[in-house]
Each structure stands twice: as structure tokens, then as C-alpha cells.
Amino acid sequence: MIALLVLLSLLFLWGTVSDRLARWSVTAPIAFAVAGILLTGGDHPLLTLDTETHTFQRGVELVLAVMLFTDATEARDYERLEGSVGEVRLLGLALPASVLLATLTGALLFPGTNWWLLAVAALVVMPMDLAPIMMFLRDERVPLRVRAALNIEGGFNDGLISPLFVFCVANLVTARGHSFGDLVLDAFKGAAYAVLAGTAVALAAIALVRRSLAAGWATGADLRLAGLALPFVAYAASVLLGGNGFVAAFVTGLWYARTAHTLGRHHLDLVHDASYLMTLAVWFTFGKLIADEFAGGVDPAFVGYALLALTAVRTLPVLLSLIGTPFTWPERWAIGWLGSRGVTSIVFAVLAYTQLTGRDAAFVVNAMGVTVLMSIFLHGVTVEPLARWFERRARPAAPAGADLP
């Protein structure tokens, strides 16, 4: 009860001072992560969080399910753009290349480490999350196509990575007697059941919502409650069938997106607010994790791994994948650099932490913790200078002699 009281009090306080703290570049992720460190760290913490219980693991899984649903349904107002913004290249070429490079980088920095563990770490640290740079996406000084590319990539990369993440973790924790072929078959069946469950839930929801609108059975507020329930329904239905609940929630969101948008821009406000609230709890948990894992210091190898993951390992594949697109080279560099890490990496790491043991669990959490911490700082301090640079670049030059009398 004390933990609940403290967390709700933090939420209330944040709601009353968030704009004020934003002037000092104190974002919600920073505030709740620091709160998690201060309140759960040390030998005699004020709060204790048991991260190894089944209830905690299920709660984290539901957070990811809701995130994937909202990512898939999020409205993107990019009508002014013609054609694609490189999203197919970013998701189909740059993302897999980045994960592969991160795995190879881990092999160089941590020789002798299990390849499946290196793959899990790469899948944890490479998905981008825009929470640390959300203000950048609303900044009109930045070219719209740059913001669109980042937003679409951030919305879809975790949904594409989650099945592979589950598969790689399964290879680390599999019981004796399960061959690689068995795991591949299980992963395929899980994905297939998830697609079926997500599609069935979405199509049923779409039909019911349209019928309700036509007959006047419900108000807008009631339909917002229905939208909030959908990711949970999709997740539960898929798990009961033996499928991947994350994929099901994502597929449901993809199907439901068009119907949601026809209902108006406020239809999904409730589920987006719920997702935001749940991610704040994840940031608090992040503080707990790093307080525990970094109490004895940080291995310099993880610092090097995180630095490479945030720079060359992401930027080079992005630059190469965008060759031949309308993006200018400065825009390509901006997209490559601003691959911030956040809630997605934390959730994946927590899921790995609850399923792995000993050094394997600590390895993943350390890789994630250093990467996310560095991302909060490096991306946080560079977004404003980048926006100003784009503004100066777009400003027409004054004609020669214009300032003369």
C-alpha cells in the first residue's frame, strides 16, 4: 500500500509541475527514473519492488501489448508529404542490419558470450523509442519528412522485433529436449495464432463499433472505453490460444487504425493516456533496475557497447538504407542520430530479466541500462541544437547589400 501511495503521489505531483520542469529539460522519463533510483536503491530502500514475481512479469507484458497497440493505431498527420518517407528501407533494411551489427559488436567486446545472449541484448538495445525526444517530433523547425520517418519507424520497430526477441529468449531458457527446430516451430505457431487472434478481435470490434454507431447504441465516451479494452482483449485471446500476445495486440491495432481514425481524433485518447501512465511506471522500474545493477559500478565494456549502439551501429545502416531517397545528407544524418532508446528497451530488458538467471539477466540489464541512460543524455542535449540548425538552414539568405542604407 505504501508503494501505491508513493507512486500515485508522484504522478499527481508530476501532473502539477510538468510544464515548469520541462523548461529545465526535466522530462517525465528523467523524473520517474530518478524517483525509482532514490526510492528503491540502497541497503534500506523506502520502497521494495519484487521484479521476479509472475504478477510483475505479466504486468510488464501488458504494458508492451498496450504500447504496440497504440503504436499501430497512432494517427500521423503527414498528408502534406507525397509518397513514402523511407519507412520500408528503415524497417526492412536498416533495422535488421543494426541488430546484426549490435550482435557482432557484442561478440567483439564480450568474447566468449553465448550468441543467443548477444542477440537478446542487441534486440533490447536497438529498437528506438521516441519518449526522450518527443518534443523534437512537434518542432516545426524540423523538416516534416524527418519527423515522419522517425515517428513511423518508432511506431513499428518494436512490433517487428518482439517475435524475434521472444524466440531468442526461448533459446536461452528452453528446457532439455527442445531442439532448435522445435523452437522455430513453436515461434511460427505462436506468431500464426497471434495473427489469427489479433485479426479476429479487430474484425469483430470493427463490426460492433460500426453497428453501434449506425444504431446509436453508445456515446463517444463509451466507445473510448471499448477502444481501451481492445489491446487487453487481443493479448488475452492470443495467450489463451498459445500465441504471442504482443503480436496479437499489434495486429489488432493495425486492423483497427482506420476505424479509429474515422471516429475522430479523440477516440483513442483514453488508451493513449493509459499507455502513457503505464510507461511512467516502466521508467520508475528502470530506476529500480539500474540502482540494483550499477550499485557496484559499471563495466567500461558496457559503456563502449552502448556508445557504439547509439552511434555507428545505428547510423551507418540508416545512412546506407536511405541512399537514393529524396532525403538530403543532413536529414539522413539526423534520422540516423536521433534513434533514441527508452520504454521499449526497458520493457524488453525487464522481460528478459524475469526469465533469465544470474549473469545472463545481469548482462541484458547492464547493456540496456547504460544504453538508455546515455540516450537520455546525448539525445536530450542535441535535439534543440539540431532544430536550430535546421531552422537556420531553411531561412533564406539575405540579398547582398540588403543591410546597407
pLDDT digits (tens, 9 = 90+) for 118-177: 999 999 999 988 777 777 777 788 888 888 888 888 877 877 888 888 888 888 877 545
**Entry pTM:** 0.81
Dihedral of alpha carbons 98, 73, 233, 195, sign: negative
Ranges 173-177, 329-333, 381-385: which has the least confidence: 173-177
Q: Which amino acid is at 277?
A: L
Fold of 27-42+66-393: Na+/H+ antiporter like fold (1.20.1530)
Distance between alpha carbon 38 and the CA centroid of its chain, in Å?
24
Which 8-state DSSP code applies to residue 214?
Answer: H
The residue among 354, 293, 343 whose CA lies nearest residue 66 is: 343
φ and ψ of 111, to 5 deg = -60, 140
Secondary structure percentages of the chain, helix, strand, coil, to 5: 75, 0, 25
Q: Name 311's Cβ contacts closer than 8 Å, sequence gap at least 6.
A: 337
Per residue in 391-401, pLDDT (tens digit) is: 888 765 444 44
Ranges 58-67, 73-82, 287-296, 388-397: which has the least confidence: 73-82
